Amino acid sequence: MTRSPARRALRAAGVLAAAAFVALLAYGLTTKATDSTIDDALSRGKAVAAPGFSLSALADGRDPGPAWEKAASDGRVSLDELRGTPLVVNFWASWCDPCRAEAKVLERAYKAQSGVLFLGLDAQDAREDARDFIAQFGLTFPHVRDPGNDTQRAWGVTGLPETYFIGAGGQVVGHVIGTVDDAQLRDGIAAAKAGRPQGLGDGGDQRPVK
């Protein structure tokens, strides 16, 4: 039986609509997916350039050093502005229970070391809740804030907390997934100062990102 032109046109439109939906779904999955570039490189013993960001300053901390003071002078901090300083970047949120347990470990390590800038990166959090968290645990290192999840996806964050160690040249040399302990911080700081790849580390508890 020969289909009418109207029915053929309707069927073709349906096929095109279905194809467009599949393409849109695939695009959404690829653009929203967490990037695994950092972990893939570290698993092979390779350092990799840290994904850039430009985020609002949340807390300056106490005596964070000239690199932070210069970078945060306009209220925003980009990773490029901190180039030349080894970094410990900790992703956290006030609603993350393991982050609360980890806070004192980070603060203790920050006070005990020199030559490395600790940077807290608060993600998917209310600004006042984040500031209350910083005050409650007496954190004296600086923090930036990403109200969404773009930065954590670009870095490959799958849960909170996670900690990255970055050399002065801007390359990620280590990554601890979950709460970090004293020994992991000590080894990661040494790797950041030396600029040598340390690899991946399994930490303690985590909470899935939203």
Tell me how far apart the alpha carbons of residues 165 and 197 are, in angstroms, rounded to a whole number: 9
> Nearest to residue 176, comparing CAs of 194, 139, 186?
186
Domain span at residue 27? 1-33
Mind listing the pLDDT tens digit for each residue in 13-58?
A: 454 444 444 343 343 433 456 789 999 999 999 999 999 999 999 9
Distance CA 202, CA 162 (A): 10
Same domain, yes or no: 74 and 24: no
pLDDT for 180 equals 98
* CA proximity to 192, closest of 172, 177, 162: 172
**pLDDT grade, residue 8 (50/70/90)?**
low
**Contact call for residues 193 and 115 (beta carbons, < 8 A):** yes
Using 50, 70 and 90 to split pLDDT, how confident is the model at 79? very high
- How confident is the prediction for the chain on average, in pLDDT? 88
Q: Looking at the structure, do residues 72 and 160 belong to the same domain, yes or no?
A: yes
Are 69 and 138 within one domain? yes
Whether 21 and 43 map to the same domain: the answer is no
DSSP-assigned letter for residue 198: -
Give this prediction's pTM. 0.83
Overall domain count for the chain: 2
Q: Are residues 105 and 11 in the same domain?
A: no
- Burial-class residue 159 by CB neighbours within 10 Å (0-12, 13-18, 19+): middle
Q: What is the pLDDT of residue 31?
A: 40
Q: What is the CATH number of the domain that holds 162?
A: 3.40.30.10
What is the DSSP code (8-state) at residue 169? T
Phi and psi torsions of 171, nearest 5°: -105, 140
C-alpha separations of 175 from 180, 197, 204 in Å: 10, 10, 13
